[in-house]
Amino acid sequence: MGLSLKGLSKSYSNIQKNQSLEVLHSLDLDVETGSFVSLIGPSGCGKSTICNLLAGIEIPDSGEILLDGEAIQGTSGNFGYMPQKDLLLPWRTLIDNVLIGCEILHREKRKAQVEAKEWLNQFGLSPFSEYYPHQLSGGMRQRGALLRTILFGKKTLLLDEPFGALDALTRQEMQRWLLSIWNRTRHTVLLITHDIDEAILLSDKVIVLSQRPTRIIHEFEIPFPHPRDPDELLLSSVALDFKRQLLHLLIP
C-alpha cells in the first residue's frame, strides 16, 4: 500500500507581526511500497516541513498521513529517518552508534550485534567498527548513519538530503553505494534532495514541488531499469532530457 499524504496543509503563525505563513496547502502524494521517490524543489518550498510532518515532529493543520492504510500523523517512530547531518554520538564507537535503534526497540543484544557486524561488513566498515566518529571520514559517518537507519527495522526510509554536506566526489560515491544497497533491500524510500542528477540516478519517480504554498507541479517517471550504471545513465540522451525539463521547472 505504501505511504500517502492526503490533503496535507500546514501554516506557521508570527504572533508579533500578526501574520500567517502558509507552507503546504492540501498536498496529495503517494509513494508505492518498494519504490524510490525523490522530492525536489526550490529552497524554502516546504521540503523540511514535509519531513517534520512525516517524522511526527510537527502536526499538520489538516489532512492525513497514511502508512499502509493507517493514519499516523502526529506520531513518531514510523520511518527509518536520516537527516542531512549524521548525528552520530561522539562518545560511542561506530558499532555502538549503529545499534542505537536496536537498543531503543529493546531487541536481543547478541542477535542485534551479529546483524550489525554483518551489515558493517557489507557497508565496508568492518575495520572501523571500534572507531569513534571523529576518527572517520564524512563518507564513513554517513554510511554509518544510513546503517543505523536501516537497522531501526522500518520498511520505509525517509532521507532528508543525506549527502548534501559532502564534497562532490564523496557524494557521488555515496549515491552509487546507496543505489547498490537499495537494489538488495528494496526498502520504500522517500528522498528529499536538491541535486537533479541524484534524483534522476536513484529514483523510480521524481516529484517537482513549487514555491510555497507547496504543490506538486510535475511528476517524472524515471524509466531506467535496475540495476543502473551511473556513468552510462547520467550521460544518456534520455537522462539529459529529464535534466533539461527539471531545470526548466525549477529555474523558469
Report the predicted TM-score, pTM, of the whole model to 2 decimal places. 0.90
Q: How far apart are CA 71 and CA 66, in angstroms?
A: 4
Domains of the chain: 1-79+187-252 (3.40.50.300)
pLDDT in tens, the chain (252 residues): 789 999 999 998 876 666 788 899 899 999 999 999 999 998 878 888 898 899 898 999 999 999 999 999 989 889 988 888 888 999 999 999 999 887 877 777 788 888 888 888 888 889 999 999 999 988 889 889 988 988 888 899 999 988 877 888 888 888 888 888 888 889 999 999 989 999 999 999 999 999 888 889 999 999 998 888 888 888 899 999 999 999 999 886
The distance from CA 84 to its chain's CA centroid, rounded to whole angstroms, is 9
Selection from 58, 57, 62, 80 nearest residue 3 by Cα: 80
Beta bridge partners of 13: 20
Question: Quick one: three-class SS letters along 181-245?
Answer: HHHHHCCEEEEEECCHHHHHHHCCEEEEECCCCECEEEEEECCCCCCCCHHHHHCCHHHHHHHHH
Strand order across the 19-31 sheet: 19-31, 3-14, 62-67, 70-71
